[in-house]
Amino acid sequence: MKDKKEIVEEIKHQPNAENPYRLLKLRLTPVEKFAAGIPALKAAVTDLIEEKTVLRGARALFRMNQKGGFDCPSCAWPDPDDERSPLGEYCENGVKALAEEATTKRVTPEFFRQHSVYDLARLDDYEIGKMGRLTDPMYLPEGGTHYQPISWEDAFKKIAEHFNRLESPDEAAFYTSGRTSNEASFVYQLFAKEFGTNNMPDCSNMCHETSGSALRPTIGIGKGTVRLDDFYDTDVIVIIGQNPGTNAPRMMSALEKGKRNGAKIIAINPLPEAGLMGFHNPQEVNGIFGRGGKLTDLYLPVRINGDMALLKALELLLLDFEKRHPGKVLDKEFIEGKTIGYTEFLKQFDHLELEDLARLSGVSAKDLYLAAEMMAFKKRIIVCWGMGLTQQPNGVDMIREILNILLLKGSIGIPGGGVCPVRGHSNVQGNRTMMIDEKPTDEQLDRLENFYGFKMPRRHGYDVVKAIKAIHEEKVRVMFCMGGNFLSATPDTTYTANALRKLNLLVCVSTKLNRSHLIHGKEAIILPTYGRSDKDIVKGEVQIVSTENSMGVVQSSKGVLDAGSDNLVNETQIVCRMAMAVLGDRSVVSWQRYHDSYDAVRDDIEQCIPGFENYNVRIREKGGFYLPNGARDSQDFAKQFGGRAPFTLTEIPDNHLEEDEYMMATTRTHDQFNTTIYGLDDRYRGIKNERRVVFMNQKDIDKAGFKAGDKVDLYNFDDGIERVAPLFIIVSYAIPEKNTMTYFPETNVLVSVNNVVKESNMPASKYVKIKIKKHNPEVYQKVDEMLYRGYKQRDSI
């Protein structure tokens, strides 16, 4: 790894005319059939070494995800309720996330003095992220070329000036990342509401908003209905549109345990991912030195957006099994007592044929039959999904179709059965519980209004997609980002970048440098804060914060590392100081009380959000506590249907592609978490040293006249606009014909801001129609001008 100064200087002085994206020598290695094991251990240690934090990071690892320790800053997979492994409750990606937090590299005011925004913006996201931890608040004045230091007091004054200059509170937007704690999330949404707006776009709007939109109206809660222990004692686990080995590696331990206890696993995905197929458990001798264990019993290689046809095929087959074995397949008692709409639901199957559904799904009728047979005579069925479903235009309907299957079987709200949306960031579910929501319910607002005594804004605010459009239309003039990397996470990169430049002020609360600091508003402020592993000290005492995992467990998190700077402020205090600066005497909230005490924040959460009774006592209990879940605990489903769950009628989409079109889905490598890129390899898929690749079926490569290894440009023409992602390398892969896969954020530029999921309004990043053309070097110059126009002239002043 080069020194960060060397990287910046190399980019600054290299024209990059022939190789503008600095393509490395792509090396293909065998695609792996098992996940984890010794390679995972080696990769984790390598990251600790690279971040120069071997001893510091290793000490912290033994406290990560342990009772009384700190919550992993990576994914939201739950920790065991009982005793946890003394060897460590973490995975390869958790180690990488910790290494980036515990790094000894620093981004100081001197660094910003030496390097202009333009120079830094020319780096890729990997290089930007490897610079280290931010140490001080920084300010970029209008027309400025370099960030400059600013005191915390002056930063809050500047923020207050901009907020108080707005003609309407709705000209402000408040973005939230899933890393933000319950306490910071609560005061953050409270400040936004007291300021007068519900413009609270958040990362849920890009990952599992679809899950909540599907589940709330049907089962009465927008969360999963299973506990971790359910995986250990179940009959069938279905994993659809989710890759455990990369997205939630500790999930593989639960799958392994369930399989050892007799569970069958069905994997449904366009790619045969290593983490679906097998697992080398690094905490067992056989996992390290032996052959490991097979996970999936049946793999169904569904084509992109063929999932709906597949799900309906399973239903058709289950109904046929019931005809041949009356009373042994469907749970008629559950259907009659706990659901509505069953008779109407059945009518569609008079017009469906298995062979048609098999053709539309891309999965053979034989394999569909085998999957249905695995489920037919079993009741304890868990269905897990990820963004492979939620980021498709009909994602809400597909999740409701999953519910239809579970309702037929009576497999929800029972031990070993239910739904499991596998969440991404470690407190993304807790953010929503804390009312980080652009559409708060009247019930939620009434409770806040009764407790605090000020009138709550009732108008729904902007989600991520609506916020981008509002910024572009100059309806939003100031944006405050609590964590995250907004530009790299969002769709339609050029459109979004041009929108952000129209802001009067963009404020980012961050631990590290990222792309959103470099494509900014007229003015920009960076506020450095603590990471999850850092000691958060208030009045001389190390504090605890709390988070909520994927299965509704609220638990404490207490950092163990000395912070890398004395000039950091925790997120809760940042919000409180901003609130006092902006609202002044207009506020009726005791912000200073919250500023001085997390316990005070939790006391008031208890008064405003059901399920948090005796919060300060229970959060200090080992393992935390479960939030109420009517669907899980008592089969109490949708209130509007008298506690029953409705069968949903859905349609099979028409996925027509022109002769020269392909369907593209974006995905992450095994060397990244969300927009944080740890390295340039994708070990499980056999990719070394490169991210700008496009996975294609060999038949498609041959038919188009390409060869594996060819350099190509990718195009999207939604909305009548040409979008282009230049200079990608073709990789032949086991993927359905006419389907392609690429990495984000590199191809977010191809995802139209108008390509969204019905009902949830999420970007449909797993459903992008593209054309592939031989690489044209002139395309790069065009893209470069769109992204960086104006910087060159300013940088030379």
pLDDT digits (tens, 9 = 90+) for 721-741: 999 999 999 999 999 999 999
Peptide bond into 270 cis (omega under 30): no
DSSP calls for 134-202? E-S-EEE-TT-SS-EE--HHHHHHHHHHHHHH-SSGGGEEEEE-TTS-HHHHHHHHHHHHHHT-----B
504 Cβ contact partners less than 8 Å away, ≥ 6 residues apart: 162, 477, 478, 521, 522, 523
Report, as an integer, the average pLDDT of 624-648.
Answer: 95
Task: Say what percent of the chain tops pLDDT 90.
Answer: 78
What tokens does 555 get? 């638990």
565-576 per-position pLDDT tens digit = 999 999 999 999
315-340 per-position pLDDT tens digit = 999 999 999 999 999 999 999 999 99
Q: Which amino acid is at 55?
A: L
659-672 per-position pLDDT tens digit = 999 999 999 999 99
Tally of CB atoms within 10 A around 494: 15
Q: Please give the Cα distance from 496 to 29 (Å, whole number).
A: 36
Which comes out higher in pLDDT, residue 278 or 498? 498
Q: Please give the Cα distance from 673 to 558 (Å, whole number).
A: 22
Phi and psi at 692, nearest 5°, equal -90, 75
Q: Which of 295, 301, 249, 250 shows the shortest CA–CA distance to 271?
A: 301
451-463 per-position pLDDT tens digit = 999 999 999 999 9
Q: What is the DSSP letter of 661?
A: -
pLDDT of residue 86: 66
In order of 161, 179, 529, 595, the CA distances from 572 in angstroms are 21, 13, 10, 7
Q: Which of 448, 425, 420, 422 shows the shortest CA–CA distance to 435?
A: 448
pLDDT of residue 21: 54
Q: Is 333 exposed, middle or buried (0-12, 13-18, 19+ CB in 10 A)?
A: exposed
DSSP reduced 3-state for 531: coil
482 Cβ contact partners less than 8 Å away, ≥ 6 residues apart: 174, 175, 176, 177, 180, 184, 188, 509, 571, 575
Report, as an integer, the average pLDDT of 514-520.
Answer: 95
pLDDT of residue 453: 96
Give residue 790's pLDDT band: very low, low, confident or very high (50, 70, 90).
very low
Report, as an integer, the average pLDDT of 493-518.
Answer: 96
Q: Please give the Cα distance from 545 to 492 (Å, whole number).
A: 35
Report, as an integer, the average pLDDT of 95-117.
Answer: 93
Give residue 230's pLDDT band: very low, low, confident or very high (50, 70, 90).
very high
Give residue 15's pLDDT band: very low, low, confident or very high (50, 70, 90).
very low
pLDDT of residue 7: 44
Q: Which of 202, 197, 188 shows the shortest CA–CA distance to 167?
A: 197
CB 505 within 8 A of CB 476: no
Bridge pairing between strands 27-28 and 687-688:
antiparallel
259-276 per-position pLDDT tens digit = 999 999 999 999 998 888
pLDDT of residue 66: 83
Outline where 493-570 has alpha helix (H): 493-500
Q: Which amino acid is at 305?
A: N
Give residue 17's pLDDT band: very low, low, confident or very high (50, 70, 90).
very low
Q: Please give the Cα distance from 96 to 140 (Å, whole number).
A: 30
In order of 126, 351, 575, 678, 789, the CA distances from 121 in angstroms are 12, 55, 28, 18, 12
- CA quadruple 304, 309, 312, 316: dihedral positive or negative? negative
pLDDT of residue 16: 44
pLDDT of residue 81: 74
Q: Please give the Cα distance from 547 to 33 (Å, whole number).
A: 34
> What DSSP element (H or E) covers 663?
strand 662-667
| CA-based max dimension of the chain | 81
- Weakest-pLDDT range from 23-32, 200-209, 458-467: 23-32
What tokens does 125 get? 């996201």
CB 467 within 8 A of CB 201: yes
421 Cβ contact partners less than 8 Å away, ≥ 6 residues apart: 208, 211, 215, 223, 224, 384, 385, 386, 390, 399, 550
- CA quadruple 763, 498, 488, 184: dihedral positive or negative? negative
Q: Is 487 exposed, middle or buried (0-12, 13-18, 19+ CB in 10 A)?
A: buried
pTM (whole model) above 0.85: yes
Q: Which of 69-78, 89-98, 319-328, 668-677 has the highest mean pLDDT?
A: 319-328
pLDDT of residue 250: 85
Q: Please give the Cα distance from 65 to 91 (Å, whole number).
A: 11
Give residue 88's pLDDT band: very low, low, confident or very high (50, 70, 90).
low
CB 352 within 8 A of CB 316: yes
Give residue 48's pLDDT band: very low, low, confident or very high (50, 70, 90).
confident
Report, as an integer, the average pLDDT of 378-392.
Answer: 97
Report, as an integer, the average pLDDT of 49-58.
Answer: 80
Which comes out higher in pLDDT, residue 786 or 625? 625
Residue position matching structure tokens 């981004």: 107
pLDDT value at 143 more than 50: yes
Report, as an integer, the average pLDDT of 464-470.
Answer: 98
46 Cβ contact partners less than 8 Å away, ≥ 6 residues apart: none
Mean model confidence pLDDT for the chain? 91
What tokens does 393 get? 């235009």
Task: Say what percent of the chain tops pLDDT 70.
Answer: 93
pLDDT value at 493 more than 70: yes
Report, as an integer, the average pLDDT of 293-310.
Answer: 95
Bridge pairing between strands 278-280 and 739-743:
unpaired
539-591 per-position pLDDT tens digit = 999 999 999 999 999 999 999 999 999 999 999 999 999 999 999 999 999 99
Exposed e or buried b per residue across 716-746, where buried means at least 16 C-beta atoms within 10 angstroms of its C-beta: bebeeeebbbbbbbbbbbebbebbbbbbbbb
pLDDT of residue 12: 39
Phi and psi at 13, nearest 5°, equal -105, -5
Report, as an integer, the average pLDDT of 75-101.
Answer: 78
Which comes out higher in pLDDT, residue 71 or 668? 668
149-167 per-position pLDDT tens digit = 999 999 999 999 999 999 9
110 Cβ contact partners less than 8 Å away, ≥ 6 residues apart: none
- Range list of β-strands (E), 545-609: 545-548, 553-557
Exposed e or buried b per residue across 42-54, where buried means at least 16 C-beta atoms within 10 angstroms of its C-beta: ebbbebbebbebe
Which comes out higher in pLDDT, residue 537 or 49? 537
pLDDT of residue 285: 60
